């Protein structure tokens, strides 16, 4: 698909899936704004995208567990553009460990705040720019951990809690923004292989029924959903568990 003329914001773009989204959006012609916990991490990806495709990419520091930095990120983007067409809520802290006592209190708090509160505040502060778009999409990378009775992930219970909150927010947000023509699209993937769009394996990695889900396939779902005509509201993608 073609994203030329569209403005894309990606949180948690310093590595993994967020980085892949930023690189691919640049290749498709988008004007891209990326954030990471450190501005150095965000700038590294911005430089990679610019070198890869010639895309115009701006980098910001944003700790989704810190409301002040979420506000500053949105204000920084607003200083460069009058609208946002696609907001990718990808950033969230992952915390591993099956037992509640395996993590410090601060780590638990940070995990829930980044995944739940951070997503809500990102939408809140980018909403004026989303409303200025002729057709905006909010994309939430949730997790299969948010699905009812899912216990396959080895993530800490705090991660489960964060993703459940994020999913609940996405559900009500979709209903409330529908009258404005803003689509809310949520993905619930199981663990998947990240991959690197700058490495040849990105294009040639096996994607058969016997292979693990890849970041490229998850990204293809995102691009498919935001590429649909505006009468098509795809609310969620759920994936078969393995």
CA distance 177 to 87: 14
CA distance 217 to 50: 23
Q: What's residue 122's pLDDT?
A: 98
* Tokens coding 171: 């559900």
CA distance 61 to 183: 26
Q: Could you say which of 3.40.50.720, 3.40.50.1360, 3.30.9.10, 3.30.70.270 is the CATH number of the domain covering 7-238?
A: 3.40.50.720
**Across the strands, what pairs with 61?**
36
Q: At residue 58, what are phi and psi to the nearest 5 degrees? A: -110, 145
pLDDT tens profile 149-198: 788 788 899 999 999 999 999 999 999 999 999 999 999 999 899 889 99
Q: What's residue 194's pLDDT?
A: 86
Q: What's residue 170's pLDDT?
A: 97
Residues of the chain below pLDDT 70: 242
Q: What's residue 240's pLDDT?
A: 87
In contact, 20 and 194? CB cutoff 8 Å:
yes
**Across the strands, what pairs with 8?**
32, 86
Q: What's residue 195's pLDDT?
A: 86
DSSP sequence for 48-88: HHHHHH---EEEEE--TT-HHHHHHHHHHHHTT-S--SEEE
Average pLDDT, the chain: 95
């Amino acid at each position: 698909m073609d994203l030329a003329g569209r403005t894309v914001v990606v949180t948690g773009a310093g590595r993994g899936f967020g980085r892949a989204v930023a690189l691919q959006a640049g290749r498709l012609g988008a004007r891209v704004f990326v954030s990471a916990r450190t501005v150095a991490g965000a700038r590294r990806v911005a430089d990679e995208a610019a070198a890869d495709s010639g895309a115009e990419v701006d980098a910001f520091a944003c700790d989704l567990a810190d409301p002040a930095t979420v506000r500053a990120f949105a204000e920084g983007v607003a200083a460069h553009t009058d609208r946002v067409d696609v907001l990718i809520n990808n950033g969230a802290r992952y915390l591993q460990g099956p037992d509640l006592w395996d993590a410090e209190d601060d780590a638990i708090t940070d995990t829930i705040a980044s995944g739940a509160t951070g997503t809500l505040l990102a939408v809140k502060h980018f909403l004026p720019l989303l409303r200025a778009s002729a057709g905006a999409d909010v994309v939430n990378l949730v997790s299969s951990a948010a699905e009812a009775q899912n216990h396959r992930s080895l993530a800490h219970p705090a991660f489960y809690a964060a993703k459940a909150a994020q999913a609940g927010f996405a559900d009500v947000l979709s209903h409330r923004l529908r009258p404005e023509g803003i689509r809310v699209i949520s993905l619930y993937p199981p663990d998947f292989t990240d991959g690197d769009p700058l490495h040849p394996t990105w294009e040639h990695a096996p994607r058969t029924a016997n292979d693990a889900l890849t970041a490229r396939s998850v990204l293809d779902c995102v691009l498919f959903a935001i590429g649909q005509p505006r009468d098509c509201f795809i609310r969620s993608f759920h994936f078969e568990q393995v």
